[in-house]
């Protein structure tokens, strides 16, 4: 997945927590994305910044040195874009997940979600869950759609019973 958002929104901190949970790190700040096929994008870090991450208050760290060789990868397919933005009061945020959104990168539409960030929200678990949910969608499992369909069928049955 590719985490994007304004500087200071918490992308690196989120990535750091995901690394701690066993996920792999590709790049921080400078991500090179290449189109390798008609619908496949690969992301990698710049050679000079490879395995490095900047954490405000801590400085530059080497993810491979701290977390080990299993914590890094040289490249990975971009299959989900997570847009992190600061929570805006009174803004309507997606609560159902029925609408499939995408983010265009090199003329390829990549599935995307927008995660509003505010103190107290566990952003890494939300991002991790989004990645797992995207894997289910690739297998044809759309939980929100299935629930929506079940509710509509139930309401229709109730309506028919009351007629």
Local confidence band at 112 (pLDDT 50, 70, 90 cut-offs):
very high
Cα 95 from Cα 48, distance rounded (Å): 40
pLDDT tens digits along 4-57: 999 999 999 999 999 999 999 999 989 999 999 999 999 999 999 999 999 999
pLDDT tens digits along 56-105: 999 999 999 999 999 999 999 999 999 999 999 999 999 899 999 999 99
Local structure of residue 114 (DSSP, 8 states): E
Local structure of residue 23 (DSSP, 8 states): P
The residue assigned the tokens 């969608």 is 137
> Class for domain 2-162, per CATH?
alpha beta
Q: What share of the chain is helix, strand, coil (3-state, %, to 5)?
A: 35, 30, 35
pLDDT computed for residue 161 by the predictor: 83
């Amino acid at each position: 997945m590719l985490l994007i958002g304004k500087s200071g929104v918490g992308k690196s901190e989120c990535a750091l927590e995901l690394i701690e949970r066993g996920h792999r790190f590709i790049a921080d700040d400078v991500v090179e994305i290449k189109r390798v096929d008609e619908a496949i994008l690969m992301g990698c870090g710049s050679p000079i910044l490879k395995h490095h991450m900047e954490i405000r208050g801590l400085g530059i760290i080497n993810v491979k040195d701290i977390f080990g060789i299993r914590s890094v990868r040289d490249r990975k397919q971009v299959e989900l874009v997570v847009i992190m933005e600061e929570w805006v009061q009174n803004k309507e945020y997606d609560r159902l997940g029925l609408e499939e959104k995408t983010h265009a990168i090199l003329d390829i539409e990549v599935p995307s979600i927008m995660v509003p960030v505010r103190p107290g929200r566990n952003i890494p678990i939300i991002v991790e869950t989004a990645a797992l949910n995207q894997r289910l969608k690739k297998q044809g499992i759309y939980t929100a759609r299935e629930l929506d369909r079940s509710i509509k069928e139930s309401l229709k049955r109730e309506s028919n019973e009351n007629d």
